[in-house]
Amino acid sequence: MQTKYAIHIFWSGEDEGFIAICEEFPGLSAFGESREDALREAQIALDAIIETYRASGLELPEPHQLLVAA
């Protein structure tokens, strides 16, 4: 599913792997042994939460916008 939400990926020494989150959906996170694995798992979770929101009639959060100074 194509979305306009950013997924942030970072290393977690505690988990010894990469964690991916989407800030617009608190609690959504995914784990991967590589950045690619974390991104793939996060996209699956993001698609599922969007479908859940839609099925429940909940309004989706607006995607964050990156503000670039000129």
Model pLDDT, residue 3: 79
Determine, yes or no, domain membership for 45. yes
The model's pLDDT over 14-44, given as tens digits with 9 standing for 90+, comes to 999 999 999 999 999 999 999 999 999 999 9
Please, are residues 42 and 24 in contact by the beta-carbon 8 Å criterion? no
2, part of any domain: no
Tell me, yes or no, whether 33 lies in a domain: yes
In our burial notation (b when 16+ CB lie closer than 10 A, e otherwise), range 21-46 reads bbebbeebbbebeeeebbbebbbebb
Residue showing tokens 């599922």: 48
Q: What's the whole-model pTM score? A: 0.85
pLDDT over 90 (residue 68): no
User: What band does 69 get if pLDDT is binned at 50, 70 and 90?
Assistant: confident
- Provide the residue range defining the domain that includes 34: 8-56
The total number of structural domains in the chain stands at 1
